[in-house]
C-alpha cells in the first residue's frame, strides 16, 4: 500500500509541477519511448539472471506491494513451536520427538503454528537442527557455525531478486539515453521540416531521458528498497530459531531460551513477555479460536 500511495504522490507532483510551469501533458505521452526503455530493461534482466531468479523476483515484487513482513502472530508461532519442541526434548523419548520432525505436516506441534508450517524452508531449518540436538554429538559452537553458514546462504539466495532488480533499475537512466538518441536520430532525419515539427520530435526524444531517470529513481529503486526490508524481516525468523536453540543447547530452560530468541526481534514488532507466556500455555491460541 505504501508503494501505491508513494507512487501516486510522486506522479501527482511531477505532472502537477510540469502543468503548473505551463507544460502540456500530451507532449509526455510517448508510448514507444516507454516500449524501448521498458523492453530493453526487461530483456536485459531476463538475459542476466537464471529463470529461478526471474520467477523469484516476481514473487519478491508481490511481497513488497503487500508488505508481507512477519506479524506478531508469526513470531509467536515460531516461539511456540520452539518451546513445545524444547519441552519435549526434556521430557519425552527420542522416538516421540523424531515423529514431529520427520513428518512436520502431521505433527500436532507444527499444526498449531500454520504460519511456520506454511514456510517449508523455515520448517526444514527447525527440524534439521532439532535432529542434530537429538543426536547429541555436536557441540553448541559447532552448531552455531553451521547455522551461521546456512543462514548466510539462505539470505544470499533471498536477496538475489533485490540485487538483480536494483542493477536493472540503475541501468534505466542509460537506457533512457538510448531512447533519447534514437529520438534525435528520427528528428535529424526530418531536418528539413519546420521548427514546430522539429521541436516536437526533439521534445519527444528528451522524454526518453526523463522516463529512464523517473523509472530508476522514482519507481524501481523504492520497490527494491521494500524488497530488501521485507526479505530481511522474513529472514529474522531464522535468527530467532538460531538464538533460541543455541541457548537451549547451552543449558537454558525452555522458558529462558525463548527470551534469547524474543530479544532478537525488533523492538517495534517484538511480542511482549506476557504474550509469549500465553503462547507457551496455549500454543496457537488465536488460530484455535479462529
C-beta separation of 169 from 42 below 8 A: no
C-beta separation of 84 from 244 below 8 A: no
Question: How many structural domains does the chain have?
Answer: 1
In a domain, 15, yes or no: no
Q: 142: domain range? A: 30-290
Q: What is the pLDDT along the chain (290 residues), one digit of tens a residue?
A: 788 999 999 999 999 999 998 888 888 888 899 999 999 999 999 999 999 999 999 999 999 999 999 999 999 999 999 999 999 999 888 899 999 999 999 999 999 999 999 999 999 999 999 999 998 777 889 999 999 999 999 999 999 999 999 999 999 999 999 999 998 998 888 888 888 888 888 888 899 999 999 999 999 999 999 999 999 999 999 999 999 999 999 999 999 999 999 999 999 899 999 999 998 888 766 554 44
CA-to-CA distance for 245 and 252, rounded, in angstroms? 9
In a domain, 136, yes or no: yes
In a domain, 168, yes or no: yes
CA-to-CA distance for 128 and 137, rounded, in angstroms? 14
Grid coordinates standing for 69?
A: 513482513
Helix (H, G, I), strand (E, B) or coil at 268: coil
In a domain, 20, yes or no: no
In a domain, 92, yes or no: yes
In a domain, 118, yes or no: yes
In a domain, 13, yes or no: no
In a domain, 10, yes or no: no
Amino acid at each position: 500500500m505504501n508503494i501505491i500511495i508513494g507512487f501516486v504522490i510522486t506522479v501527482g507532483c511531477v505532472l502537477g509541477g510540469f502543468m503548473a510551469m505551463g507544460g502540456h501533458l500530451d507532449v509526455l505521452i510517448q508510448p514507444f519511448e516507454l516500449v524501448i526503455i521498458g523492453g530493453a530493461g526487461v530483456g536485459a534482466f531476463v538475459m542476466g539472471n537464471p529463470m529461478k531468479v526471474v520467477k523469484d523476483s516476481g514473487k519478491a515484487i508481490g511481497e513488497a506491494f503487500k508488505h508481507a513482513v512477519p506479524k506478531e502472530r508469526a513470531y509467536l508461532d515460531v516461539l511456540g513451536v520452539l518451546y513445545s519442541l524444547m519441552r519435549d526434548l526434556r521430557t519425552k523419548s527420542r522416538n516421540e520427538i523424531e515423529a514431529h520432525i520427520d513428518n512436520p505436516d502431521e505433527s500436532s506441534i507444527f499444526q498449531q503454528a500454520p504460519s511456520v508450517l506454511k514456510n517449508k524452508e523455515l520448517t526444514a531449518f527447525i527440524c534439521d537442527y532439532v535432529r542434530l540436538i537429538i543426536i547429541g554429538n555436536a557441540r553448541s559452537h559447532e552448531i552455531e557455525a553451521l547455522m551461521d553458514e546456512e543462514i548466510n546462504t539462505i539470505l544470499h539466495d533471498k536477496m538475489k531478486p533485490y540485487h538483480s532488480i536494483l542493477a536493472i533499475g540503475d541501468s534505466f537512466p542509460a537506457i533512457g539515453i538510448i531512447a533519447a538518441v534514437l529520438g534525435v536520430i528520427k528528428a535529424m532525419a526530418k531536418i528539413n521540416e519546420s521548427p514546430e515539427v522539429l521541436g516536437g520530435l526533439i521534445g519527444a526524444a528528451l522524454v526518453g531521458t526523463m522516463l529512464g531517470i523517473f523509472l530508476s529513481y522514482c519507481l524501481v529503486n523504492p520497490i527494491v528498497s521494500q524488497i530488501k526490508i521485507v526479505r530481511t524481516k522474513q529472514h529474522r525468523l531464522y535468527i530467532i530459531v538460531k538464538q533460541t536453540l543455541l541457548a537451549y543447547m547451552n543449558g537454558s530452560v525452555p522458558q529462558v531460551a525463548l527470551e534469547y530468541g524474543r530479544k532478537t526481534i525488533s523492538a517495534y514488532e517484538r511480542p511482549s513477555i506476557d504474550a509469549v507466556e500465553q503462547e507457551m500455555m496455549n500454543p496457537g491460541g488465536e488460530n484455535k479460536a479462529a
